[in-house]
Amino acid sequence: MERLVTLLLLSVLLLSSAGESARVSKIRLPNSPADGLCAHLIQPYGYPCSEHTAQTNDGYLLGLQRVASNSRYLRRQYCPPVLLLHGLMMAGDAWFLNSPNQSLGFILADHGFDVWAGNVRGTRWSRRHVHLTEKDKDFWDWSWQELALYDLEGMARYIYNITNSKIFIVGHSQGTIMSLAAFTQPHIVSMVEAAALLSPISYLDHISSSFVLRLVKMHIDEVLCVMGIHELIFKSDCSTHMMDILCGEYVNCNELLTPVTGKNCCFNNSRIDFYLEYEPQPTSSKNLNHLFQMIREGTFRKYDYGIFKNLIRYGRFRPPAFDVSSIPNSLPLWIAYGGNDAFADVTDVHRTLKELKRQPEVLFLEEYGHIDFLPSATM
């Protein structure tokens, strides 16, 4: 755990000094989405990478990329597995979008870790199911609750079986809410050695993002569900081109992000055209609805279907809470958060810290916003 934390701190410091100098050659995506993330983004830098598929208990087929060091000496050493869990509207590529010395996925591989990049259902690298297709509305019938209890469990179980070793987990944003919920389940914790949570979210009632609060007030999430819009996808050739032009010539994209994520000190505006080739990734309308429920109610609970459906699904009028205090003392945690984070508000983070039985190691950086702890500084 100490070694992993040291590398995370190193990544944060590298990101802070990235600036304009952190430019690498552009890697254009091929027309066919059938090629995996390894071929797109990882192997071109000379890192051994293999594509894997983990099946969840509810039938989703999730893409996993296993990345090793490009050093033969390190590949001969014992390498503990690390599962990287991305944030909302991101995918596993988020950990590899900068140069190798400034992307956490590459940094961990270079220090001898057995790196696994996770991709939750619905993202570009995880759009398959044993029975459903992405055109079926049932394919999108999930929120972060399923990502925690099925996707994280399925990826962890696959890695655990392959490596015969407990895994380290590193999560950012949505990856942290998945982790905190999953760690209340003993069968998942039994496969985890330790976890590092970057920009952690669980309670959201003090969120300060003016953009998100406006959407919550307008009940956009409920409108989308009523309209039968199941998949949320904000990426298109037109929108990508417009953002590329705007951010390159007219505005500072970091300033555009501020009302959404909070003021980020370390966003690399010079690479926005490259980031937009990969982000944002799709998610489900139900996922947004669940997050907005939490903002309105100030709870860390399962999805609220309404009184009658709750009775059928949960046997109670209100959905059960994820009890953070049930996370066992035996699980070491490291938490990093920032003073300018408009999602993971300091008050909400402190509430989570207070409820944990075991006090984690904590890093607080006053000037950091929500995306600053992601060492690729994407969206």
Quote the tokens at residue 284.
Answer: 């489900």
Q: Write the DSSP string, 250-284.
A: I--HHHHHHHHH---SS--GGGHHHHTTT-SPPEE
For residues 157 and 141, give the distance between their C-alpha atoms in angstroms, rounded to a whole number.
23
Quick count: other Cβ atoms within 10 Å of Cβ 100? 17
CB atoms within 10 A of CB 178: 27
| Lookup result for tokens 């490009």 | 70
Q: Which residues are catalytic?
A: 173, 341, 370
Residues 6+ apart with CB under 8 A from 243: 253, 272, 276
Q: Which residue has the tokens 């996770």?
A: 118
Between CA 308 and CA 283 the distance in angstroms is: 26
User: Is residue 172 a contact partner of residue 87, using CB atoms and an 8 Å limit?
Assistant: yes
8 Å CB contact between 126 and 33: no
355 within 8 A of 324, measured Cβ to Cβ: yes
